[in-house]
């Protein structure tokens, strides 16, 4: 676990500061279990094919024991995979499953590596090369399939190929040394490939969580904006209603004012009959104004 944490921090420190490490590791384990089923089936096929190729070269009792041990490890791994798919996992709940996967993958790699000791064709160089090809192919597949977790692909590559390299060195001779040197370079290349894939996977997971967080933030911002628009629209509608009522009241006041003005003008206008009567009796000219209008004029004055 500590190795994977170091890889996560070194791969993208800026991104990792924003995404919790436990969330990244849980996603790594989820991806590991998602893509392991095909690898498990391929490893069983490879083991049976290797046993068939070495059947007439190595003592058959050893081959049967090795195959039985290999299948005995794969059955619990298959059960573990089925349980992982049925159990609901949220965040840190998926982290302990990584340890169980590491045990299963390490045991599988150790059994493949033990073939360089248990069923190694000591007297047949051609079959030795065949065994080396099988182990190299298995190590290469684990470097890719187990890339989500650093400790998984590192342990798988080393446990698969180091026993073979040691056997070549133990066997001695120029060919053994050359094969061991080539195998060591191959191990270094596989580990480099696994490291690159691991960094890519970790960065991809971090970007995915950042994108999801950004989408959630945008959705929340949109909801808040929509809520504010609704509130503002309601305020504007209420204000418009108030303005409409105020406009109606002002129109009524203006109409009442015009009606009062018209009535006052009608009262203030002199009547022809009243003016003639005032002249006949020799009254002043202002008496020609009707009495009601004159009284209203006096009051206003």
Dump pLDDT digits (tens) for 48-76. Answer: 999 999 999 999 999 999 999 999 999 99
- 88-117 burial by CB neighbour count: b if 16+ within 10 A, else e? eeeeeebbebbebbbebbbbbbbbbbbbbe
pLDDT at 265 over 80: no
pLDDT number for residue 61: 93
- Tell me what pLDDT residue 184 has: 93
How many Cβ atoms from other residues are within 10 Å of residue 219's Cβ? Answer: 10
Say whether pLDDT at 111 is over 60.
yes
Q: How does residue 268 score in pLDDT terms, banded at 50, 70 and 90?
A: low
Comparing 92-96, 101-105, 152-156, 269-273, the range with the smallest average pLDDT is 269-273
Query: What confidence tens digit (pLDDT) does each residue in 176-200 have?
Result: 888 889 999 999 999 999 999 999 9
The residues near 279 (Cβ < 8 Å, ≥ 6 apart) are none
pTM, two decimal places: 0.66
Tell me which of 20 and 135 has the higher pLDDT: 135
Average pLDDT over residues 128-137: 92
pLDDT at 283 over 80: no
């Amino acid at each position: 676990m500590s190795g994977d944490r170091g890889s996560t921090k070194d791969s993208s420190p800026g991104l990792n500061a924003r995404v919790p490490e436990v969330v990244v590791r849980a996603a790594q384990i989820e991806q590991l279990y998602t893509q392991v089923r095909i690898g498990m089936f391929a490893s069983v096929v490879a083991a049976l094919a290797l046993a068939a190729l070495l059947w007439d070269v190595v003592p058959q009792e050893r081959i049967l024991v090795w195959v039985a041990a290999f299948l005995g490890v794969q059955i619990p791994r298959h059960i573990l995979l089925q349980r992982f798919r049925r159990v609901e996992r949220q965040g840190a709940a998926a982290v302990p499953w990584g340890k169980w996967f590491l045990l299963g993958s390490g045991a599988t790699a150790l059994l493949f590596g033990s073939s360089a000791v248990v069923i190694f064709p000591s007297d047949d160089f051609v079959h030795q090369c065949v065994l080396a090809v099988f182990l190299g192919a298995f190590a290469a597949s684990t470097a890719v399939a187990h890339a989500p977790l650093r400790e998984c692909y590192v342990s798988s590559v080393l446990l698969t190929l180091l026993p073979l390299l040691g056997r070549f060195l133990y066997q001695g001779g120029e060919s053994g040394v050359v094969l061991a040197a080539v195998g060591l370079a191959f191990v270094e290349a596989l580990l480099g490939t696994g490291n690159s894939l691991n960094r890519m996977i970790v960065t991809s997971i971090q970007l995915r969580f950042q994108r999801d967080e950004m989408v959630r933030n945008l959705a929340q911002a949109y909801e808040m904006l929509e809520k504010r628009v609704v509130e503002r629209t309601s305020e504007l509608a209420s204000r418009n209603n108030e303005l409409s009522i105020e406009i109606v009241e002002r129109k009524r006041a203006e109409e009442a004012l015009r009606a009062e003005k018209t009535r006052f003008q009608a009262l203030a206008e002199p009547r022809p009959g009243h003016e003639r009567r005032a002249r006949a009796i020799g009254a002043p000219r202002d008496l020609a104004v009707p009495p009601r209008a004159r009284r209203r004029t006096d009051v206003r004055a």
